């Protein structure tokens, strides 16, 4: 009788919390490129799908689209012309994590990372070990270097020698966080990493606490931007920790990211560009960024929408929906011919 009372009490409390907030599922993803994948995965969540599946579905969509030049097929290669990819998957119920770094010739690194999350040992594989594991486990192989990406790489090589330009550019990870109708959460990341990186270089995206973190009892966070600097702050974990103290995702993002950017500039002398997204287990979300940054979000109540964020005054974030003109210009820009 006593136990039954507490079971009812806890059950009722969860229902009540859900009624108060009025949300049962939600997803957020970094950059405009997350939009289509999110829209597809949110339909699955609406039909009772799991966060784990939703994250994989959304990220595969991005990995498969050839005109996103920082993730999967069509991603820009390293200095030697090889597309080396990093990806991670985390289950917020169990804390299970799988990750790959420097994997090549595999169509969907996120699926490999998810499978590795079922392993207790050997759950984070790098380089040829990661590629061999994927091949041995029948993940689809693919040459990930598109002709378009090869042309961009060759052009950059010319620019480096002719104009003495910095080789490094483009480190836009897709990071996706999901909340499903069972209150389970998951997070995933995928990227081809820093354009023109040295072979073997990896960033934050496959590293727990840096590129991603999720706890279904609190919420999740994911990062995009210069991995070398993101790794100095462990910002995804810090955002989840702050949400666990009762802060909203927006307060947690603002409080974790902006003071760290200041500290990095003071003590390291500079801070690369980076942005973080967060979602809590009530379906509320937040963003912090030190650069103009787009992201996509959708919930039970809110159609999937692309927003633009910018750093605001006094450690705040300015957020507005992107305009139709911006979306049109974006679609044109990512397909513009390479001369």
Smallest distance, ligand GLY to C-beta of residue 227, A:
3
Of the candidate residues 28, 103, 194, 319, the single one contacting ligand GLY (CB under 6 A):
194
Q: Could you give the CA distance from residue 163 to residue 156 in angstroms, rounded to a whole number?
A: 10
Report the phi/psi class of residue 132: left, alpha or beta, with left for phi > 0 and alpha for psi in -120 to 50: alpha
173 labelled catalytic? yes
CB 195 within 8 A of CB 170: yes
Q: Which helix (H) or strand (E) holds 316?
A: none
CA neighbor of 301 nearest in space, from 214, 132, 179: 179
Q: Could you give the CA distance from residue 152 to residue 71 in angstroms, rounded to a whole number?
A: 15
- Per rule CB under 6 A, is residue 78 in the interface with ligand GLY? no
Stretch near ligand GLY under the rule CB under 6 A, chosen from 109-117, 201-209, 291-299, 312-320: 201-209
Please say which residue, 73 or 212, places its beta carbon nearer to ligand GLY: 212
Enter the tokens of residue 149: 């990406």
Of the candidate residues 74, 109, 220, 227, the single one contacting ligand GLY (CB under 6 A):
227
Stretch near ligand GLY under the rule CB under 6 A, chosen from 6-14, 109-117, 197-205, 324-332: 197-205
| Strand 174-179 relative to strand 85-91, pairing | unpaired
DSSP state of 301: S
- The burial class, CB within 10 Å (0-12 / 13-18 / 19+), for 273 is middle
Catalytic member of 131, 146, 173, 317: 173
Show the 3-state SS of 36-103: HHHHHHHHHHHCCCCHHHHHHHHHHHHHHCCCCCCCCCCCCCCCCCCCCEEEEEEECCCCCEEEEEEE
Stretch near ligand GLY under the rule CB under 6 A, chosen from 102-110, 191-199, 251-259, 323-331: 191-199
- Per rule CB under 6 A, is residue 173 in the interface with ligand GLY? yes
- Per rule CB under 6 A, is residue 205 in the interface with ligand GLY? yes
Residue given tokens 């409080």 in the structure block: 255
- Per rule CB under 6 A, is residue 171 in the interface with ligand GLY? yes
Of the candidate residues 56, 91, 204, 238, the single one contacting ligand GLY (CB under 6 A):
204
Give me the residues paired with residue 174 across strands. 190
Of the candidate residues 77, 98, 193, 283, the single one contacting ligand GLY (CB under 6 A):
193
What are the distances in angstroms from CA 171 to CA 99, 127, 130, 187, 215?
18, 19, 21, 18, 26
- Per rule CB under 6 A, is residue 49 in the interface with ligand GLY? no
- The burial class, CB within 10 Å (0-12 / 13-18 / 19+), for 266 is exposed
Counting residues that bind ligand GLY (by CB under 6 A) gives 12
Please say which residue, 74 or 298, places its beta carbon nearer to ligand GLY: 74
Please say which residue, 194 or 247, places its beta carbon nearer to ligand GLY: 194
Smallest distance, ligand GLY to C-beta of residue 225, A:
6
- Per rule CB under 6 A, is residue 123 in the interface with ligand GLY? no
Please say which residue, 175 or 249, places its beta carbon nearer to ligand GLY: 175
CA 299 to chain centre: 17
Please say which residue, 112 or 247, places its beta carbon nearer to ligand GLY: 112
The binding track of 257-276 with respect to ligand GLY, each residue x by CB under 6 A or -, is --------------------
> Across 146-200, where does the E strand assignment appear?
174-179, 185-191
Smallest distance, ligand GLY to C-beta of residue 247, A:
24
- Per rule CB under 6 A, is residue 225 in the interface with ligand GLY? yes
Please say which residue, 131 or 173, places its beta carbon nearer to ligand GLY: 173
Of the candidate residues 52, 117, 224, 250, the single one contacting ligand GLY (CB under 6 A):
224
Q: Which residues bind ligand GLY (CB under 6 A)?
A: 171, 173, 191, 193-194, 203-205, 224-227
Which residues form the catalytic set? 173
């Amino acid at each position: 009788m006593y136990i039954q009372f507490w079971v009812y009490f806890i059950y009722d409390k969860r229902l009540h919390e859900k009624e108060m907030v009025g949300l049962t599922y939600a997803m957020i993803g970094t950059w405009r490129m997350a939009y289509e994948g999110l829209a597809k995965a949110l339909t699955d969540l609406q039909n009772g799908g799991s966060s784990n599946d939703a994250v994989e579905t959304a990220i595969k969509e991005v990995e498969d689209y050839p005109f996103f030049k920082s993730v999967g097929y069509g991603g820009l290669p390293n200095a030697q012309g090889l597309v080396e990819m990093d990806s991670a998957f985390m289950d917020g119920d169990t804390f299970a994590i799988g990750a790959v770094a420097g994997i090549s010739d595999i169509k969907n690194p996120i699926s490999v990372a998810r499978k590795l999350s079922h392993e207790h040992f050997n759950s984070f594989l790098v380089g040829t070990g990661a590629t061999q594991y994927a091949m041995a486990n029948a993940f689809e192989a693919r040459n990930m270097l598109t002709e378009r990406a090869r042309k961009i790489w060759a052009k950059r090589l010319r620019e480096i020698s002719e104009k003495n330009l910095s080789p490094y550019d483009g480190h836009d990870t897709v990071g996706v966080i999901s909340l499903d109708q069972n209150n389970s959460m998951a997070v995933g990341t995928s990227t081809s990493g820093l354009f023109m990186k040295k072979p073997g270089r990896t960033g934050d995206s496959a590293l727990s606490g840096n590129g991603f973190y999720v706890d279904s009892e609190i919420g999740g966070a994911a990062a995009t931007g210069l991995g070398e600097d993101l790794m100095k702050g462990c910002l995804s974990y810090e955002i989840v920790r702050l949400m666990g103290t009762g802060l909203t995702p927006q307060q947690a993002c603002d409080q974790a990211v902006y003071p760290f950017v200041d500290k990095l500039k003071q003590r390291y002398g500079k801070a690369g560009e980076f942005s973080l997204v967060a979602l809590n287990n009530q379906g509320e979300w937040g963003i912090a960024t030190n650069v103009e940054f787009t992201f996509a979000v959708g919930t039970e109540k809110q159609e999937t929408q692309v927003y633009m964020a910018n750093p605001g005054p006094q450690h705040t974030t300015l957020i507005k929906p992107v305009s139709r003109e911006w979306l049109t210009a974006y679609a044109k820009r990512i397909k513009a011919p390479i001369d």
